[in-house]
Amino acid sequence: MSNIPLCPYGSHRVLDPVGALPQAARKLDNHMPMQRNEMRIAVETLNVDSASFTQIKEACGGDEGKMKQMILDIVAERGKMQNPVTGSGGMLLGTVSEVGPDFPGDAKPGDRVATLVSLSLTPLSIRTIRAIHMDRDQVDVEATAILFETGIWARIPDDMDRKVALAALDVAGAAAQVHGMVKPGDSVLILGASGKSGVLCSVQAKRDAGSQGNVIALCYDPQEMEELRSLGVCDHIIRADARKPLEVYRQVLAANGGRKVDLSINVINVPDTEMATILPVRDGGIIYFFSMATSFSKAALGAEGVASDATMIIGNGYTKGHADFTLDLLRSSPELYQLFKKRYGGED
C-alpha cells in the first residue's frame, strides 16, 4: 500500500478535478492498490438507480448489447458508474475480498454485503457484464469496487433472497424518512406508488397515517397498479401521467374530499413531474422529492410561481438505521416481501 495522503471521504482517488470529492468528480482512479482506509469488494450485481437505468434503456432503444457497451463506456471514462445525464448511480451487491487496517467496523473477507452509498462516488472496475435484467434495473457483473472508510454498508441477511435485499436496500432511505413525516390522520399522495420505493412508502405511510388517514397512490403502469392494490394499503389508487400537473391535481382533490393533501412524495423515475407533486399540497404541508429525476430548480421556481407555501424536502438516501428499518418492513409484511421477490428476486 502506498503512503499517499488518505482522505476519509476518498478524495485521494479523485483524478479530475483534483481536490473534489468523489461524487462530484469527473473521474476517479479505479485501479490503484487498495489503501489502508478502504475495503475492496468483488462485485456481483449493480443495482442501477431507476432514473439512470431508464435513461440508459431509452437512449439505447432497449437494446441489451448497446446498454452493456454504454455502461462499460461510462465506467471506463469515469472510473465509477455515474450516469452523465442523470448524475445518479445506484448501489451494489458483492463479497468483501480485502479490508484495510484503518477501515472501521467489523467487515471481514467473505462477508456478503450491499453498499449503502451511491455508485456515483464508488471506484469501480468492470471486467465483464454477464446479464442485464430489464425488469428490475439490475446488472450482473464481474467487477471490483472500493469503499471508503466513510462509506456505509450492510450485510446481506440470511433470511431473505439476496436480490430482494439488494433491491430494498437500494431505496432504504425512502420508507424510513416517510416514517418521520407522516402523522396519524394525514392525507398522503405518493407519485410513483407502484414502483420499488413507492410500494415501500405506501405500506409505511398507511401504517403511520392509520385508519383515519388517506393514502392516495398515483401510478401509470396498469399491471403494477394491480400489484399495489393487492397489498391493501392505499385508500385510493389513481392512474395519471405525472407530467400533466392539472390532470393530477384534479384527480387528487377528488380523492381527498376536495381538499389538498398534507404530504406528497415523489418517487417517479422520469423528469418533469415537479409541478404534479407541488400543486396538490396545502399551504404548510410537505413536499418530499426522493426521485433522482427531479429538477430542483424547476421545483423551486415552480413552487414560487404557484404561490405554494409548502415545505420542500430533498430526499437523502441515508437515514440513521435505514437499512434495518427497511429490511424489517419487508419482514413484517409477507405480502410486500412476496411482491419484491416476484419482481426483483432470484439467485441467478
Q: How many helices (H) and strands (E) does the chain have?
A: 11, 14
DSSP strand pairing (236-239 vs 214-219): parallel
What is the distance between the alpha carbons of residues 250 and 248, in angstroms, rounded to a whole number? 6
Q: What angle do CA 290, 296, 302 make, to 5 degrees?
A: 115
Q: Is the pLDDT of residue 2 over 70?
A: no
Question: What's the helix, strand, coil split of the chain in %, to 5?
Answer: 35, 25, 40
- Among positive and negative, which fits the CA dihedral 207, 115, 85, 17? positive
For the record, the C-alpha cell of 152 comes out as: 456505509
Q: Which residue has the cell 384534479?
A: 250
The proportion of the chain whose per-residue pLDDT surpasses 70, expressed as a percent, equals 98
- Is residue 337 very low, low, confident or very high in pLDDT (cuts 50, 70, 90)? very high
What is the distance between the alpha carbons of residues 32 and 13, in angstroms, rounded to a whole number? 8
> What tens digit of pLDDT does each residue of 138-179 get?
999 999 999 999 999 999 999 999 999 999 998 999 999 999
Q: Is the pLDDT of residue 290 over 60?
A: yes
> What tens digit of pLDDT does each residue of 32-66 get?
999 999 999 999 999 999 889 999 999 999 999 99
Task: Identify the residue with better confidence: 130 or 347.
Answer: 130
Q: Is the pLDDT of residue 4 over 70?
A: no
Nearest alpha-carbon partner for 34 in 81, 100, 110, 109: 100
> What tens digit of pLDDT does each residue of 176-232 get?
999 999 999 999 999 999 999 999 999 999 999 999 999 999 999 999 999 999 999
Domains identified in the chain and CATH numbers: 11-156 (no CATH), 172-320+331-335 (3.40.50.720)
C-alpha 237: how far from chain center: 22
E strands within 157-213? 187-191
For the record, the C-alpha cell of 259 comes out as: 381538499
Q: Is the pLDDT of residue 348 over 90?
A: no
Judge contact between 164 and 136, C-beta under 8 A. no
Average pLDDT of the segment spanning 290-299: 90
Give the length of the chain: 348
Q: What is the pLDDT of residue 1?
A: 40
CB atoms within 10 A of CB 33: 8
CB contact set of 185 (below 8 Å; sequence gap of 6+): 209, 210, 212, 213
Peptide linkage before 84 cis (omega within 30 of 0): no
Q: What is the pLDDT of residue 208?
A: 98
DSSP strand pairing (187-191 vs 261-266): parallel
Q: Which helix (H) or strand (E) holds 276?
A: helix 274-278
What is the distance between the alpha carbons of residues 219 and 139, in angstroms, rounded to a whole number? 25
Model pTM?
0.86
Computed over every residue of the chain, the mean pLDDT equals 95
C-alpha 202: how far from chain center: 15
What is the distance between the alpha carbons of residues 64 and 311, in angstroms, rounded to a whole number? 41
Q: What SS3 state is found at 91?
A: strand
Q: Is the pLDDT of residue 120 over 60?
A: yes
DSSP symbol at 232: T
Nearest alpha-carbon partner for 339 in 223, 193, 192, 227: 227
What is the distance between the alpha carbons of residues 50 and 90, in angstroms, rounded to a whole number? 8
Q: Is the pLDDT of residue 345 over 90?
A: no
DSSP symbol at 234: -
What is the distance between the alpha carbons of residues 219 and 192, in angstroms, rounded to a whole number? 5
